[in-house]
Structures are given as C-alpha cells and as structure tokens.
C-alpha cells in the first residue's frame, strides 16, 4: 500500500520569501508523484508531476519539485512567493497501474503568504 | 467549456434524506472518480469507473451508490444521509494508462451539509 506524509500542516511565509513544502511517500513499487494546489473554495489544480527522467521537475506558477528516491521525498519549492500563492497544497502518489491510476493524497499543507 | 462539471455546487439537506450529485466531463477521458474531502481537508478516494465499469470501490458505506451511464458521466447517490456525510465531494477524470501524464482533472466540488 502506498502512503504520503506531508510534514507541515501549515507554513506561514512572507511575500517574496522562498518556501519549501515537504512530502515523503512510501510505496513498494515504482511511483509517480504529483503536487496539486487548491485555492479557497475551488477544486484541485495540477502544479507539477514526476513520472520519470530528470529528478528536478518544473511546474506552473514558478514552482518546482525534486524527486529523491533514496529519501523517498518529493519536496516542493518556490524561490519567491506572492500573496496569490496562499492556498492548500497536496502531494499525491500513484503506482501507475493502468486500471484506475488511483491517487493517494497527503494531508495537505496550508500556505499563508503574509505581506 | 468547463472540463469537469459537478452539480449542485452546494447541497444542504436533512438527516435521513436521499440525494444525488452529478458529474460530467467533456475531455474525452475514460476514467472517472469520486473523492471525499473532510473538514480537515483530507482527500480520500471513494470510487472509480473506467468505461462505465466499476474498478475501485474503497471502504465506503453501501448507502453510497455510484452510477456511470456512459464514460462522460459519473453520478453519486447517497441514501439515508447522516451528519458524518457532510464534506466536499470532488469528481475527477483521467485517461487510463496514459492519464498519469496529465494527472487528474478535478471538478470544483460539491459541498454537502447534512443538518
């Protein structure tokens, strides 16, 4: 069974400061990793994904994440945040099976950007 | 031109009632999902259908019954609603097998409140 742990439930950060959101996963098979963002009262939007290849993945809105197989981590970073980055961020893992491609989500990290 | 649309957006109902939530996608995807997001933002998969066939059925009370009339639609019917059913229900879709390259596309959610 696969699982995802997001180590921080809340991350306050000042505008234009960098932010890192931590994500660790466990899985007995090859994994595919995702970060989603949920703005208030909205659905989830894909930020970026790791399927294979380069371990540094760039996504939308200036976010990037690094896949580290030995540490089973997929941390999300942004060098300079904006007020508009205030949202809930979810890390997710899939074992990539064709039938269903079930995504297992972490508990989420709330990012609050302060002016 | 909404990709994954859910109706209704808000649903307030009394305990014991029966209600349905509808979901439609116009992306040409062949797999659809229902996720439940509780008050702590935790997301858990409930069901998944691939080409109208049920392929994921997590531990969900049998008061919840999904129905997929075709691969573009996935509805969720809930009987005898309980207070604990209050949550946000998200519909999502993907392409099986290749869907991971694009991740899931989520609807904007249905906020169900049982009083």
Per-residue pLDDT tens over the stretch B13-60:
999 999 999 999 999 988 899 999 999 889 999 999 988 888 888 878
Best to test chain B binding among A8, A38, A101 (most B CBs inside 10 Å): A101
Of 3.20.20.140, 1.10.8.640, 3.30.1330.60, 2.60.40.10, the CATH number of B4-114 is 2.60.40.10
Phi, psi of B111 (to 5 degrees): -90, 110
pLDDT tens-place string over residues A59-98: 999 999 999 999 999 999 999 999 999 999 999 998 765 5
Instruction: Work out the mean pLDDT of chain A and round it to a whole number.
Output: 91
3-state secondary structure of A67: strand
Contact between B48 and A102 using a beta-carbon 8 Å cutoff: yes
Mean pLDDT, residues B70-79 taken together? 95
Q: Which residues of A touch B94 (CB under 8 A)?
A: 101
Q: Can you give the pLDDT at residue B79?
A: 96
Other CB atoms within 10 Å distance of the CB of residue B18: 11
A95: distance to nearest CA of chain B, Å? Answer: 10
Chain Cα centroid distance, residue A56:
13
Looking at chain A, which residue has its C-alpha nearest residue B48? Answer: A100
A76, A21 contact by CB (below 8 A): yes
| Domains, chain A, with CATH or none | 3-114 (2.60.40.10)
Which of A13, A35, A51 lies closest to A108 in space, CA to CA?
A35
State the average pLDDT for chain B. 91
- Measured in whole angstroms, how far is the alpha carbon of residue B114 from the centre of its chain? 17
Q: Tell me: the pLDDT tens digits for A8-67? A: 999 999 999 999 999 999 876 778 899 999 998 888 999 999 988 889 999 999 999 999
Of B91, B5, B112, residue with least CA distance to B49:
B91
A99:B96 CB<8 A: yes
CB contact under 8 A, B40 and A107: yes
The domain spans of chain B are 4-114
pLDDT score at B55: 85
CA distance B17 to B64: 13
């Amino acid at each position: 069974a696969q699982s995802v742990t997001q180590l921080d439930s809340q991350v306050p950060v000042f505008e234009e400061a960098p932010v890192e959101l931590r994500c660790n996963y466990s899985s007995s098979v090859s994994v595919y990793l995702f970060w989603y963002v949920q703005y208030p009262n909205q659905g989830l939007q894909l930020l970026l994904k790791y399927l294979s290849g380069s371990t540094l993945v760039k996504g939308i809105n200036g976010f990037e994440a690094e896949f580290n197989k030995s540490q089973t981590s997929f941390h999300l970073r942004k060098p300079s945040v904006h007020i508009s980055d205030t949202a809930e961020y979810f890390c997710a893992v899939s074992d990539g099976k064709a039938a269903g491609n079930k995504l297992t989500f972490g508990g989420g990290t709330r990012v609050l950007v302060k002016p | 031109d909404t990709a994954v649309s859910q109706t209704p957006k808000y649903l307030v109902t009394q305990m014991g009632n029966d209600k349905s939530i509808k979901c439609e996608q116009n992306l040409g995807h062949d797999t659809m999902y229902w996720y439940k997001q509780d008050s702590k933002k935790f997301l858990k998969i409930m069901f998944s259908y691939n080409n109208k066939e049920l392929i994921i059925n997590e531990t969900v009370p049998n008061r919840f019954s999904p129905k997929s009339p075709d691969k573009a639609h996935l509805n969720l019917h809930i009987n005898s609603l309980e207070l604990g059913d209050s949550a946000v229900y998200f519909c999502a879709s993907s392409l099986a097998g290749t869907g991971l390259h694009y991740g899931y596309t989520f609807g904007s959610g249905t906020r169900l409140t049982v009083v």
